[in-house]
Amino acid sequence: MRLLRLQNVTGSTRCKFGHAQEVLNYEVFQATILARTHFEFNTFYVSRAMTPEHAKSNLKILSEQCVKCGLCLPHCPTYKVFNIEPESPRGRISLMQGYCGDMLKFSDKLEERLQHCLSCRACEAACPASVEYGQMIDLSKFLLNQDSKAPFFQRILKKASTGLLTGPKYTLALTRQLVNIYQASYLRKLAQKSKILSLFKLDDSEKILPTYQQKSVNVPDLHQPEPPKVYLFSGCVAEIVDTATLQAAVDVLSAYGFQVEIPKQQGCCGAVSCHNGDLDGAHQCMEKNLNAFAGDAPIVYVATGCGAHMLEYSSPDNQAGGNFTSRLFEICEFISDYQFPQDTVIKPLNKKIALHIPCSQRNVLKNQRSSREILEMIPEIEIIDIPSNDICCGAAGTYMLNHPDVAQELLKIKLDDIRQIEPDIVASSNIGCALHMQAGLLGERSKVEVKHPIEILAQQIIDY
């Protein structure tokens, strides 16, 4: 049976305010800024009861949308790298049709071709037939998991890493402490000099670890009569390696007069599980977050990869999922819609910023202007778009760990552009992209830092 969801949420009227004490009417948040109108198969409807037969049936119907016109090929990053048909969206859809129709048996080569997809969804943005390629590749990876003959150690490591990110909050806190201890002690230098990282194939994972992170995010109490409330989605990776961005989001939202609340019951958005073929795990993440963010207050996130995935949440009756997605906002999009508080000053920043637009922001959220609008609030700043913003940087969640060779080829394109711009800072609104590019820059002994736009803004705000 074809499972369709029609989501047509258009327009929103928002209150503008310049004083922290003003109370907003949150009934206006029942619609989103952007018109999000599309038909789609919703994997989450069926993920808890998904069977290979059900996945194949849905995949067959989805694949029939593709007319094989090939307009997607120039936009596909792996097609740019390999320049062969099986590494293109059209080629992969043909492989999917053969696989789900039992015309192609599982093979290592088939798995390699399908797993090479970064799920950047640039093909969707270019497709004149609006083919739901993202849903198709997720279903394909689910099927591959059923047949995969990957080595036992590789399967255990993949399951353990996914479980760590999607597990309870205390596991994330413990991981952050262990990472901080590892970085602050001699253990990191010892591990890097020895061959232990290469032995366990952890050398690529270790390279993306950032510098020491603060223990937790400090949320101030505004001590104001009925300040407007905002939920902050913290996710999983940011809890471990990017608390600086979460703290910056809290600081900026507080400067705007919002009382920030970070629900302890929330968890991973589910993208890591979904893109690795674990649809049941993705569904569990969705249910956890739907319960954690119950209510009417807006939900703000800092990682566009998380936001792109959560935008497609839906419960079986669509009520809980619809209420959730209509309140969901990327931090720069959310802030740019309000007047800056009159009693707050932004310090000038005489620096050049290379602006990176992640695939999730460009192809799914479709709000490419929000990061620039936030940065343009800072006096004397110079902003230059990275020319290759239309090409995936290669991070793609855990892709940079699972397929480092392809990820590095794509990263080289970004690094070449950054080198030509000669920026002081690279700005990116997705944590995975930021970690990937920062590791590449450090590998070139570059002193250029990669920061979230909201962190750059927060550092310039005074007297809030």
- pLDDT of 268-299, one tens digit each? 999 999 998 999 889 989 999 999 999 999 99
Helix (H) or strand (E) holding 175: helix 169-184
The pLDDT value recorded for residue 116 is 97
* 158-174 pLDDT, tens digit each: 666 666 666 666 666 66
Sheet of 229-233, strands arranged across: 259-261, 229-233, 299-301, 328-330
Residue 208 lies in a domain: no
- State which of 121, 147, 173 marks the end of a domain: 147
The C-alpha atoms of residue 430 and residue 409 are separated, in whole angstroms, by 19
State the pLDDT at residue 39: 34
Q: Which is it for strands 5-9 and 36-40: parallel, antiparallel or unpaired?
A: antiparallel
What's residue 237's pLDDT?
A: 81
Least confident of 150-154, 284-288, 457-461: 150-154
pLDDT at 226: 85
Task: Please give the pLDDT value at position 238.
Answer: 79
Confidence of residue 315 (pLDDT cuts 50, 70, 90): low
Q: Give the model's confidence band at 27: pLDDT under 50 very low, under 70 low, under 90 confident, else very high.
A: very low
Tens-place pLDDT, residues 91-133 = 999 999 999 988 999 999 999 999 999 999 999 999 999 999 9
In this structure, what CATH number is given to the domain that contains residue 365? 3.40.50
Task: Answer with the one of 104, 131, 147 that is the final residue of a domain.
Answer: 147
- The least confident of 28-32, 46-50, 212-216, 439-443 is 28-32
Task: Give the β-pairing of 299-301 and 328-330.
Answer: parallel
45 touches 362 (CB < 8 A)? no
Inform me whether the pLDDT recorded for 349 exceeds 90: yes
Measured between alpha carbons, how far is residue 141 from residues 58, 195, 273, 439 in Å?
A: 13, 32, 11, 28
Query: pLDDT band at residue 181, thresholds of 50, 70 and 90?
Result: low
pLDDT for residue 179: 64
Give long-range contacts, CB 8 A cutoff, 24+ apart: 70-74. 71/126, 71/127, 71/128, 72/122, 72/123, 72/126, 72/127, 72/133, 74/126
The span from the CA of 70 to the CA of 73, in Å, is: 6
- Which residue among 114, 147, 180 closes a domain? 147
What value does the mean pLDDT take over residues 349-372? 96
Of 1-5, 62-66, 235-239, 288-292, the least confident? 1-5
pLDDT computed for residue 146 by the predictor: 87
Query: Looking at the predicted structure, is the pLDDT value of residue 72 above 90?
Result: yes
Q: What pLDDT digit, counting tens, does each position of 220-266 carry?
A: 888 778 899 999 999 888 777 788 999 999 999 999 999 999 999 99
- The model's confidence at residue 1, banded by pLDDT at 50, 70 and 90, is very low
pLDDT above 50: residue 7: no
Element (H, E) at 425: strand 425-428
419 within some domain:
yes
415 in any annotated domain: yes
Domain count, the chain: 2
Tens digit of each residue's pLDDT (9 = 90 or more) over 126-148: 999 999 999 999 999 999 988 87
* pLDDT over 70 at 56, yes or no: yes
CATH of the domain at 137: 1.10.1060.10
What pLDDT shows up at residue 205?
Answer: 57
Q: What is the mean pLDDT of residues 211-225?
A: 75
Element spanning 36, H or E: strand 36-40
Look at residue 11 in the predicted model and tell me its pLDDT.
Answer: 32
- Confidence (pLDDT) at 102: 87
63, part of any domain: yes
Share of the chain above pLDDT 70, in %: 73
Do 89 and 71 touch, CB atoms closer than 8 A? no
Rounded Cα–Cα distance for residues 372 and 387 (Å) = 15
Residue 286 resides in a domain? no
Quick check: 38 pLDDT over 50? no
Transcribe 40-95 into DSSP letters: E--HHHHGGG--HHHHHHHHHHHHTT-----TTGGG-HHHHHH-SGGGSHHHHHHH
Instruction: Please tell me the predicted confidence (pLDDT) of residue 342.
Output: 77
What gap in Å lies between CA 323 and CA 270, rounded to an integer?
A: 18
- Tell me which of 189 and 332 has the higher pLDDT: 332
Q: What pLDDT does residue 132 have?
A: 94
Q: Average pLDDT of the chain?
A: 82
DSSP 3-state of 232: strand
What's the domain range around 370? 345-462
Nearest to 163, CA basis, from 273, 303, 269, 237: 273
Query: Is residue 140 a part of any domain in this protein?
Result: yes
Q: Is the residue at 300 inside a domain?
A: no
Q: Is residue 62 part of a domain?
A: yes
